[in-house]
Structures are given as C-alpha cells and as structure tokens.
Amino acid sequence: MQASRLATALLFCLCLSAVASAVVLGRSFSMAEYNTVLDRLTALTTQVRESPQAADTAIEELRGDWKLEADGQVFEVNTTWMVDQFEQLKKNPESDARDRLLERIKAMKADAQSFQQTPLDFSTFHNSLDKILARSEFHQVHGPTWLDRLKLRISMWIFRLLSRFFGSSAAPVVGRIFVWTLVAIAVFVLAFFI
C-alpha cells in the first residue's frame, strides 16, 4: 500500500515537472514560423471583441517564453507582457489593451523583418572616409606629445605653488593689483616721453 502511494506521488511530481518545464521553456521558432505566429496573434487580437475565446487561445499560445532561431543566432522573446494584455482584454474586450497589443505585435514583426534584411554595404563610405583622412591637413593631427604633457605639468606645478603662496582666494586680487600696476607703469612711461 505504501509503495503504491509512493509511486503515485512520484508519478504526480513527474507530471508536474513536465508541465512546469513546458511552461518555462516555451517553444522554439524559425523566422518564418515566428512571423506566422505573430500574424495569428494579430488575428486573435482583432477577434477578441466578437469571441472572448480568442483571448484564451492566444494565452495558451503565449505560455512560456519563445526562442527565435535565425541565422545561427538565438533570441529569447518574453511573452509575459502579451499574456497580461490578453488577460486584460479577456476581462474587458473594449479596453485599450487591444490597441497596445496590435502596436506591440506590429513592432515585433517590423523587428523580425528588419533582421531578415541584408545589412548595408558600408565599404564605399569607408573608402571615401579613408580618402578624406589621407589628405595633408590630417597628417599632423595627433594627441599631446610628451613635451606638451611636461609643459602642462610644469605650469600646473607653478600654479599650485603660487596658489599656496598667495592663497586661492587672493589670486583674483593679486591679478587686479598686477594689472593696475602695469597700467600705472604705462602711464608714467607715456608721461615721460611727452
């Protein structure tokens, strides 16, 4: 008796794990199958007003995330948002969830179609940029040299030394005093020659 209970419990756990893995793993699609499913979801979305069972059908198709396999790449598509929208639509077929779903499905189809298109050939643009950068005005373009960096470090050291000597708040005052002293010297020199 106890062995049959244990076997029943194990069988029940095995069935639950199979159902849970099917829900979690979802389904895999090729690009053509993916577009077909999106077309079907569009049709189900438009049918929900007349037939609420269309929402149930869509929810069953959307259970579990999808895997999209295209050109050797695998994309994961999370369907939770669409399931929530279909459940909302099932409760209230007149809600704006229908429009949101149609927009989302349209965007997903546009993404799939743009992925299928061949990428643009940028080699002509690359060649024309190479020609432009090969011109003489771009030959001398470079970053700071070691001498430029040394000059900058020396000037920063002198500035910090003077800032410590005069204080950081005294720098504007010292600057004004220096300017007025130069003006006074220029006036005296001008007066001496006249």
Q: How confident is the model at residue 179 (pLDDT cuts 50, 70, 90)?
A: confident
What's residue 186's pLDDT?
Answer: 93
The residue among 97, 116, 135 that closes a domain is 116
Sheet of 66-70, strand order: 27-30, 66-70, 73-77
Evaluate if pTM is beyond 0.75.
no
Asked if residue 155 and residue 80 are part of one domain, the reply reads no
Asked if residue 33 and residue 111 are part of one domain, the reply reads yes
Asked if residue 166 and residue 112 are part of one domain, the reply reads no
Q: Per the domain annotation, does 18 fall within a domain? A: no
Q: How many domains does the chain have?
A: 2
Helix, strand, coil % in the chain, rounded to nearest 5: 75, 5, 20
CA distances from 36 to 25, 76, 121 (A): 20, 17, 30
Question: What is the spatial distance between Cα 96 and Cα 100, in angstroms, rounded to a whole number?
Answer: 6
Top pLDDT among 94 and 1 is at 94
Q: Per the domain annotation, does 151 fall within a domain? A: yes
Asked if residue 162 and residue 102 are part of one domain, the reply reads no
What's residue 4's pLDDT?
Answer: 53
Mean pLDDT, the chain, rounded, equals 78
Q: Per the domain annotation, does 139 fall within a domain? A: no
Q: How confident is the model at residue 150 (pLDDT cuts 50, 70, 90)?
A: very high
The residue among 75, 97, 116 that closes a domain is 116
Over residues 21-64, the pLDDT tens digits come to 444 456 888 888 888 888 988 888 888 888 878 888 888 888 88
Q: Per the domain annotation, does 141 fall within a domain? A: no
User: Does the pLDDT of residue 168 top 80, yes or no?
Assistant: no
User: Does the pLDDT of residue 14 top 70, yes or no?
Assistant: no
Q: Per the domain annotation, does 9 fall within a domain? A: no
Beta bridge partners of 77: 66
Asked if residue 104 and residue 177 are part of one domain, the reply reads no
Asked if residue 106 and residue 68 are part of one domain, the reply reads yes
Residue range of the domain that includes 50 = 28-116
Over residues 93-139, the pLDDT tens digits come to 777 888 888 898 898 888 888 877 777 788 888 899 888 888 888 77
Q: Per the domain annotation, does 173 fall within a domain? A: yes
Q: Is 70 helix (H, G, I), strand (E, B) or coil?
A: strand
Over residues 54-89, the pLDDT tens digits come to 888 888 888 888 888 887 888 888 888 888 888 888
Asked if residue 110 and residue 43 are part of one domain, the reply reads yes
